[in-house]
């Protein structure tokens, strides 16, 4: 049993799978000799060799294309995009090859590959390093999109992602890479994909979020409890395919829902969740489903990040408005 941060849990999961399965390989910019820009692959090349932990040129399209080729030949590549904002040169390979290959070949080829990407704001980086564009990937059939919110889930979900026979976009909220530690046993036990986690049970309102925003959401639930409001808190974890059933069951119990996302408000996963509730859970609602989100602008630089990202106060203020409906 080790006490690990989220980034250390990611490292442990990759190390476990490299040792367990000879077909697993890691590749990306600076993942080998330097151990990655966030140290996610630190020490793995030394332990498993340059054929298993591969440094690539600064060429995201090449990384994605190479991963598709490897996966089509039975390997299990785990490719790192150094920042989510750098993925766009690789988007063509991900969208038109990785996501479609099983359908294109009528099941003759699968794509057991993972694209790891540090994403989101909060570290005072330039805008290309701070984006939350998870909805772009969630919109593509054929991809799973998984986002851990704490070290334990990072370990268990990454194990499941690497073992999955289809392509997984694994988004790592870099703001929370090192803000908390969990005791994790390296037992190789994967967490289930495609399912939400209920982090806190409550009766008055359902709060739904994922990734780094779970930390603000849980703090908001603590603050709301001081005012006598019992919030049920759901970590979506896999945003595509979406586990609507768990969310709908919660809303049936509470009658109210607020969805929190860091990404811009328009066209986001929060909108999809609100639509699902409107279509399938309307008769359970006592109030409109509301969203707390980033703004429809590019993530601002440095000091203005805090004004852009949803805060505990913005979440609790929205909940108080929703609770006014009787």
pLDDT in tens, 151-210: 999 999 999 999 999 999 999 999 999 999 999 999 999 999 999 999 999 999 999 999
How far is Cα 244 from Cα 230, in angstroms, rounded to an integer? 21
Same domain membership, residue 85 and residue 8: yes
Based on the fold, state whether residues 176 and 226 are members of the same structural domain. no
Of 159, 184, 209, the residue at which a domain comes to its end is: 184
Q: Tokens for 62? A: 């090449």
The model's confidence at residue 81, banded by pLDDT at 50, 70 and 90, is very high
Look up the CATH number of the domain holding residue 85.
Answer: 3.40.50.970
Q: Is 124 a catalytic residue?
A: no
Residue 189 lies in a domain: no
| pLDDT tens figures, 210-255 | 999 999 999 999 999 999 999 999 999 999 999 999 999 999 999 9
* Selected catalytic residue, list 16, 128, 129, 182: 129
Domain boundary among the residues 161, 184, 207 is at 184
- The number of domains in the chain is 2
| 313 pLDDT more than 80 | yes
Q: Are residues 213 and 314 in the same domain?
A: yes
In this structure, the answer to whether residues 91 and 150 fall within a common structural domain is: yes
**Are 306 and 278 contacting, i.e. CB atoms less than 8 angstroms apart?**
no
Peptide bond into 241 cis (omega under 30): yes
The verdict on residue 65 lying in a domain is yes
Residues 188 and 20: beta-carbon distance below 8 Å: yes
Question: Is 192 part of a structural domain of the chain?
Answer: no
Which tens digit of pLDDT belongs to each residue from 106-158? Answer: 999 999 999 999 999 999 888 788 999 999 999 999 999 999 999 999 999 99
Residues 316 and 238 reside in one and the same domain: yes
pLDDT at 302 over 80: no
Range of the domain at 226: 197-323
Residue 287: per-residue pLDDT: 98
Q: How would residue 29 be classed by pLDDT, with cut points 50, 70 and 90?
A: very high
- Within a domain: residue 262? yes
Query: Which CATH number characterizes residue 315's domain?
Result: 3.40.50.920
- Whether 326 shows a pLDDT value over 80: the answer reads no
What does the alpha-carbon distance between residue 73 and residue 305 come to, in Å, rounded to a whole number?
Answer: 43
Are 168 and 35 part of one and the same domain?
yes
Q: Are residues 97 and 147 in the same domain?
A: yes
**Rounded Cα distance, 196 and 149, in Å:** 12
Q: Identify whether 148 is part of a domain.
A: yes
Residues forming beta bridges with residue 231, ordered by sequence position: 205
Model pLDDT, residue 303: 76
Asked if 18 and 44 count as a contact pair (C-beta separation under 8 A), the reply is yes
Residue 305 pLDDT > 90, yes or no? Answer: no
pLDDT for residue 300:
87
Helix (H, G, I), strand (E, B) or coil at 66: helix
In a domain, 26, yes or no: yes
């Amino acid at each position: 049993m080790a006490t690990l941060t989220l980034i250390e849990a990611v490292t442990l999961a990759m190390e476990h799978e490299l040792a367990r399965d000879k077909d697993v390989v890691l590749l990306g910019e600076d993942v080998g000799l330097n151990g990655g820009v966030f140290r996610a692959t630190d020490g793995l090349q030394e332990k498993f060799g340059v054929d298993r932990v591969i440094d690539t040129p600064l060429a995201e399209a090449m990384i994605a294309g190479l991963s598709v080729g490897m996966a089509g030949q039975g390997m299990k590549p785990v490719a790192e995009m150094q920042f989510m904002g750098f993925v766009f040169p690789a988007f063509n390979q991900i969208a038109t090859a990785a996501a479609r290959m099983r359908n294109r070949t009528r099941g003759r080829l699968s794509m057991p590959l993972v694209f790891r990407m540090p994403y989101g704001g909060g570290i005072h980086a330039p805008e290309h390093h701070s984006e939350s564009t998870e909805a772009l990937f969630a919109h593509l059939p054929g991809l799973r999109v998984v986002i851990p919110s704490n070290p334990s889930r990072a370990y268990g979900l990454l194990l499941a992602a690497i073992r999955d026979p289809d392509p997984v976009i694994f988004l790592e909220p870099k703001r929370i890479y090192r803000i908390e530690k969990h005791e994790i046993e390296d037992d190789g036990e994967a967490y289930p994909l495609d399912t939400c986690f209920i982090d806190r049970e409550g009766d008055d309102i359902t709060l739904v979020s994922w990734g780094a925003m779970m930390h603000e959401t849980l703090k908001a639930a603590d603050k709301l409890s001081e005012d006598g409001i019992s919030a049920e808190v759901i970590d979506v974890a896999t945003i595509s395919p979406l586990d609507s059933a768990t969310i709908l069951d919660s809303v049936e119990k509470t009658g109210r829902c607020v969805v929190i996302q860091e990404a811009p408000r328009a066209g986001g996963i929060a909108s999809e969740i609100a639509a699902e509730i409107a279509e399938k859970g309307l008769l359970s609602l006592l109030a409109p489903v509301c969203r707390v989100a980033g703004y429809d602008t590019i993530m601002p630089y440095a000091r203005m990040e805090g004004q852009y990202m949803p805060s505990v106060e913005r979440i609790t203020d929205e909940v108080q408005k929703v609770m006014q409906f009787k």
